[in-house]
């Protein structure tokens, strides 16, 4: 059983503030891990997974990233890919509406101009 140790990138007060600020986000469990190790003195990786709903392997990877990069390593990247990053909620219905209108215009013009089959 390995003992978890974190580098002193942030003080305990900063870790606690970041933990409370990240409530409701994907990075909250990552700040919980650092908080439990640094402030709660839980240094066994097997004790932390039931508290944060992550695997032991994930705990090791998060602590390793925090020790290398500091606080920026705990910021979770957004999911959703290209579609979610390019289309906002306001733009998506407009895009869909214009796409449907342009498709219908092309389809009707095709029907009108198409030679009649006997």
The pLDDT tens digits of the residues spanning 9-54 come to: 888 899 999 999 989 888 999 999 999 999 888 889 899 999 999 9
Q: Tell which residue, 78, 76, 80, has the closest CA to residue 61.
A: 76
- Domain of residue 100 covers 81-113
Q: What is the pTM of this model?
A: 0.65
Domain check: are 69 and 40 in the same one?
yes
Domain check: are 68 and 89 in the same one?
no
pLDDT of residue 35: 93
Domain check: are 44 and 20 in the same one?
yes
The phi and psi torsions of 8 (rounded to 5 degrees) equal -80, 60
Residue of 108 and 4 predicted with greater confidence: 4
Three-state secondary-structure class, residue 44 = strand
pLDDT of residue 8: 87
- Would you say residue 1 lies in a domain? no
pLDDT at 103 over 70: no
Q: How many domains does the chain have?
A: 2
């Amino acid at each position: 059983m390995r003992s978890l140790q974190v580098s002193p990138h942030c003080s305990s007060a900063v870790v606690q503030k970041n933990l409370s600020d990240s409530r409701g986000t994907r990075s909250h469990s990552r700040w919980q891990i650092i908080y439990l190790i640094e402030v709660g003195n839980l240094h066994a990786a097997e004790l932390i997974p039931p508290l944060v709903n992550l695997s032991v392997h994930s705990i090791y990877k998060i602590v390793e990233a925090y020790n290398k990069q500091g606080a920026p390593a705990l910021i979770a990247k957004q999911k959703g890919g290209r579609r979610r990053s390019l289309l906002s909620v306001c733009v998506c219905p407009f895009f869909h509406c214009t796409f449907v209108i342009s498709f219908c215009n092309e389809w009707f013009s095709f029907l009108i101009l198409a030679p009649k089959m006997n």
